[in-house]
Structure 1
Amino acid sequence: MRCKYPIYLLLSLIVLSCQRKDQVVKRDNEPDIHILQGEDTEMNTAIENAQKSLYKFKEAIESRNPDYYNFALKERFNTAGSGGEHIWISEVQYSDDKFYGIVDGDPISTTEVKLGDTIEINPHNITDWIYIDKNIVKGGYTTRVLRKRMSQKEREQMDKENGFTIENE
């Protein structure tokens, strides 16, 4: 069985929309939260690309390929004032044409879910997907945007901590 904990470092990039651009909220013993504006064009394009390519995630999870692991989806949940909080859902399973998983981030603005909840994922609210194929990250479109905005030192630290290579970088 593969260790799933390194993926949590990569998935720690939680995104809120309709807030100030690129604000980072630091939390003790919790992943940082990146707060972005809803009109962040680069992030919105990443979300569109993730939605358009979701079929690749579905094909991978259905393949039951033993080289694929740590399947996760990011879902947008409503917040007060018509905003949204994007949270990773881990341990994703696919059954009866539906995705299920466990809320993998401690929400700060939404009351729709809480850390550890097992949920059915709303396919219309999926904003990213990710899985690992032999230590290569597949998907992770929004993570790539945030990674690109990091300093070289921050990227090197992230790589050192998670041990994965992001596809097409």
Structure 2
Amino acid sequence: MFFPHPQNPAVGEHMWVNEVAFGPDDMTGTLCNDPGWLRGLRCGQRVALSLDRVSDGFFVSGGALRGGFTLKLLYRQYTPAQFAECRSDPPACYLADWYEQQLAERGG
């Protein structure tokens, strides 16, 4: 999710949000990381969400992750040892087959 700077909404930070709850007129979620430089936010804080600020997202259907383009970019850079550290936990567990295919295509 993109969080704009209060004085300049054209700049801000993209942060991970988890535990998303959908209400009839709103969405909320929990920040999964601290900001790098944007003040007033902290990991674990509940925040209001809006669809126009979603920068990436994913859901799991039939045991497969759909979306997660940022995750795929990050995992593509992982070594097998790095991926092994998180392989059994979500969301990496849903990308294990995809990761193995990436390694095969790289010849690794």
Question: Which structure has the greater CA radius of gyration?
Answer: 2
Q: TM-score range by the shorter chain?
A: 0.5 to 0.7
Q: In structure 1, what is the equivalent of residue 71 of structure 2?
A: 143
Deviation at 1:78, TM superposition (A): 3.0
Using the size of structure 1 for normalisation, the TM-score is 0.45
Deviation at 1:145, TM superposition (A): 0.7
Q: In structure 2, what is the equivalent of residue 165 of structure 1?
A: 94
Pair 131,155 (structure 1): closer, same or farther in 2 beyond 3 Å: same
Task: Report the count of equivalent residues.
Answer: 95
Using the size of structure 2 for normalisation, the TM-score is 0.66
* Matching residue's letter, 1:103: L
Q: Deviations over 1:14-65 (max 9, x none)?
A: xxxxxxxxxxxxxxxxxxxxxxxxxxxxxxxxxxxxxxxxxxxxxxxxxxxx
Pairing 1:127–2:52 present: no
Pairing 1:152–2:92 present: no
1:164 alignment partner, SS class: helix
Pairing 1:116–2:44 present: yes
* Matching residue's letter, 2:65: V
State whether residues 137 and 164 of structure 1, in contact with CA within 8 Å, keep that contact through their aligned partners in structure 2.
no
1:154 alignment partner, SS class: helix
How far apart are the structure 1 equivalents of 2:13 and 2:50? 14
Structure 2: give runs of 5+ residues left out of the alignment: 99-108
Q: Which protein has greater RCO, CA pairs closer than 8 Å, 6+ apart?
A: 1
How far apart are the structure 1 equivalents of 2:17 and 2:73? 19
How far apart are the structure 2 equivalents of 1:168 and 1:123? 30
Structure 1: give runs of 5+ residues left out of the alignment: 1-74
User: Which residue among 77, 90, 102 is the counterpart of 2:3?
Assistant: 77
State whether residues 135 and 164 of structure 1, in contact with CA within 8 Å, keep that contact through their aligned partners in structure 2.
no
Pair 167,140 (structure 1): closer, same or farther in 2 beyond 3 Å: farther
How far apart are the structure 2 equivalents of 1:167 and 1:126? 25
User: Which protein is richer in strand relative to its size?
Assistant: 1
Q: In structure 2, what is the equivalent of residue 92 of structure 1?
A: 20
